[in-house]
Amino acid sequence: MFASPFNESILKRAQEKGLLKVVLHDLRDFTLDKHKNVDDAPFGGGVGMVMKVEPIVRAIEAIKEQRPHARTLLMTPGSRPFNQGKAEELAGGDDYILICGRYEGIDERLRQYIDEEISIGDFILSGGELAAMAVVDAVTRLRPGVLGDENSIVEESFSSGLLEYPQYTRPRDFRGHQAPEILVSGDPKKIKNWQREQALLRTAKLRPDLLKDTDLTERERQLLENADIA
């Protein structure tokens, strides 16, 4: 599951530059029974299977023998949502162990051995692998030297607390749909003001919850009050 995503684009280049190292661990390698079982039926009954605590803890302990300061993160839908702020926080660290759940869940006792739980949204995936890939990608691109233009991080959605403003490129006219004239005006101040206003309008329409922590000028408040954002 990890081979293709980690060998494409930004993640591939980050590894080639030595800015990212990904090591995959198969939990079956840390089992003791001859069938290498990593799951079992839940106590108390119920549908599905539950991931066993022993192989996961053995994996964590084996990794920490080599990386004693690594923080252990559990991918699970039942925790606080992962966001850009958390990505920035994790980008300031070095070693992480990402635990990918499967089946109906993981033995509750595992939580005594992890540092933090991460959810990428209020929905259920077949396993935590896709969530782990999303976290790795979001965190890696924030590390110094990973992106060609460091300024691109600053202007992305959520970095300023707002959604990103609309982007346009050639042709200026596509089937009668024109790119905004102001973007080709050559006036940096007007362009910057337009981008700020468009980011505010887009955020108000799609993610109004983000505006509660945004400092607005009186002009910007009037802009949002008068805007048709239905």
Extended strands (E) in 43-139: 50-51, 71-75, 96-100, 116-118
Extended strands (E) in the chain: 39-40, 50-51, 71-75, 96-100, 116-118, 173-174, 177-178
* pLDDT tens digits, 172-227: 999 999 999 999 999 999 999 999 999 999 999 999 999 998 999 999 999 999 99
Domain annotation for the chain: domains and CATH numbers = 5-140 (3.40.1280.10), 160-226 (1.10.1270.20)
Residue 61 CA to residue 218 CA, distance in Å, equals 55
* pLDDT tens digits, 11-43: 999 999 999 999 999 999 999 999 999 999 999
Dihedral of alpha carbons 53, 64, 8, 163, sign = positive
* pLDDT tens digits, 146-186: 997 766 666 666 767 899 999 999 999 999 999 999 999 99
Q: Does residue 171 have a cis bond before it (omega within 30 degrees)? A: yes
Residue 5 CA to residue 1 CA, distance in Å, equals 8
Q: Hey, what are 11's tokens?
A: 């993640």
